[in-house]
């Protein structure tokens, strides 16, 4: 009997786990670790959303099974959001479905539409569920490099040209986790045309639609004429309303793909707890000033982080969106790679970051820095890093000696 299961064998060791173990050990020893690793919002959910949850949960009728597609009011609220934010008309009955966060939606859609051996195009670096949702489903993933200075369409064209059989699906994620890259509507127009020309579906992750710092909000791919012929978009309430633990998101777009996701989910779950869905409806339909407050909070943290790290001797590009900075490893440490650098930074500076290698091999020259500590803690991280950088030779000498 094979002790390893087929799907598990296709998953590599979790790169972040080694840093997480070190972080837990340091904290157990009483060390003060400034955690800029996991993208886990630290602000409480707005009170009016919490109040709606509490009000609803007191009604015993809401304690029964819900529906995996999402209650009608919630789907209507998401359709209203698309109309208000993007000017896109969505049929709440056939073109949107509630998911247990965007991560679950993408993984289950991968299971629904994948035939073993299908080839999927995934950017690299990327959020792990993007390729691995399809790998778990039995697909073959063809990576193409994305990032600063990379021609997206040249890399995509090269990947398609070398795919046998032809790819069936393309994954997009803008604003991007981890690179924080953004795109405009013209980009989506070009990518929709490309996908149609090559007979591919598009799965677009728009989880960071509302965490942006410029004057122009990130667009939706569904704003492109004809995009719904081939595209589904995933959104999430986790960052927009600081609701990460509530696990509420949506898949919206192509009716055939939404129908496939609805069918497979009907076998797998009964949807989120009804009071959570009601509270999520209140989030989408209620006052939106909290969204702007969170946006400004991350902008202020971004500015403190970028200026503080620069003063420490670590030049990090300022992100235009998301709650992350995609930070090139400082030159003296670049040869270490992202995992060893992250471990050294944790040990010597007491600052935790996410190794870029965890997002794909093309991320190994970077680390992802999450803006999930308050400004005071980010300033402390900058001071720790300044001291760390000033002793680079000593740290590297000890590292090589060990």
Domains contained in the chain, CATH given: 6-44+289-390 (3.90.1150.10), 48-286 (3.40.640.10)
Structure confidence at residue 402 (pLDDT): 61
pLDDT in tens, 101-156: 989 999 999 999 999 889 999 999 999 999 999 999 999 999 999 988 899 999 99
Question: What's this model's pTM, rounded to 2 decimal places?
Answer: 0.94
The dihedral built from the CA positions of residue 269, 272, 273 and 274, taken in this order, carries a sign that is negative
pLDDT in tens, 151-170: 999 999 999 998 989 999 99
Q: Decide: 259 and 112 in contact? Cβ < 8 Å.
A: no
pLDDT in tens, 142-156: 999 998 889 999 999
Record the tokens describing residue 110, joined without a space: 């991968």
Distance CA 113, CA 108 (A): 9
**Residue 298 CB partners (closer than 8 Å, separation 6+):** 211, 213, 323, 371
Count CB atoms within 10 A of the CB of residue 257.
24
Q: How far is CA 364 from CA 6, 35, 51, 185, 357, in A?
A: 27, 20, 43, 30, 4
Distance CA 18, CA 31 (A): 17
Structure confidence at residue 360 (pLDDT): 94
pLDDT in tens, 9-52: 878 777 778 888 889 999 999 999 999 998 889 999 999 999 99
**Residue 113 CB partners (closer than 8 Å, separation 6+):** 168, 169, 201, 257, 260
Which residues is 253 bridged to in the sheet?
232
pLDDT in tens, 167-217: 999 999 999 999 999 999 999 999 999 999 999 999 999 999 999 999 999
């Amino acid at each position: 009997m094979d002790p390893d299961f087929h799907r598990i064998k296709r998953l590599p060791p979790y790169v972040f786990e080694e840093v997480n173990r070190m972080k837990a050990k340091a904290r157990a020893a009483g060390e003060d670790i400034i955690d800029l690793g996991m993208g886990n919002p630290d602000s409480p959910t707005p009170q009016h959303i919490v109040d709606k949850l509490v009000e609803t949960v007191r009604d015993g009728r809401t304690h029964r099974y819900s529906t995996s597609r999402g209650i009608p009011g919630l789907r209507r609220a998401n359709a209203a959001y698309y109309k208000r934010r993007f000017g896109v008309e969505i049929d709440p009955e056939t073109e949107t479905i509630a998911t247990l966060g965007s991560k679950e939606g993408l993984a289950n859609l991968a299971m629904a539409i994948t035939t073993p051996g299908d080839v999927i195009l995934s950017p690299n670096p990327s959020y792990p569920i993007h390729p691995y949702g399809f790998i778990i489903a039995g697909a073959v993933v063809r990576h193409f490099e994305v990032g600063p200075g990379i021609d997206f369409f040249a890399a995509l064209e090269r990947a398609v040209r070398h795919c046998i059989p032809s790819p069936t699906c393309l994954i997009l994620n803008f604003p991007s986790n981890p690179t924080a890259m953004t795109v405009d509507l013209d980009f989506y127009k070009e990518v929709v045309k490309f996908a149609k020309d090559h007979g591919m579906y598009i799965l677009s992750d728009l989880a960071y639609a509302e965490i942006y710092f410029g004057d122009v909000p990130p667009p939706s791919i569904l704003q492109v004429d004809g995009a719904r012929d081939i595209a589904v978009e995933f959104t999430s309430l986790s960052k927009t309303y600081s609701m990460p633990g509530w696990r509420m998101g949506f898949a919206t777009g192509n009716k055939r793909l939404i129908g496939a996701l609805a069918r497979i989910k009907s076998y797998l779950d009964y949807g989120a707890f009804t009071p959570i869905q009601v509270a999520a409806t209140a989030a989408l339909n209620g006052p939106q000033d909290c969204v702007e407050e969170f946006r400004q909070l991350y902008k202020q943290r971004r500015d403190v982080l970028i200026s503080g790290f620069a003063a420490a001797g670590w030049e990090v590009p300022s992100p235009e969106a998301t709650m992350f900075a995609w930070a090139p490893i400082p030159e003296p440490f670049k040869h270490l790679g992202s995992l060893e650098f992250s471990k050294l930074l944790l040990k010597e500076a007491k600052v935790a970051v996410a190794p870029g290698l965890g997002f794909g091999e093309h991320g190994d020259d970077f680390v992802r820095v999450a803006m999930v500590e308050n400004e005071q803690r980010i300033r402390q991280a900058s001071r720790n890093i300044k001291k760390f950088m000033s002793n680079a030779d000593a740290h590297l000498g000890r590292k090589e000696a060990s």
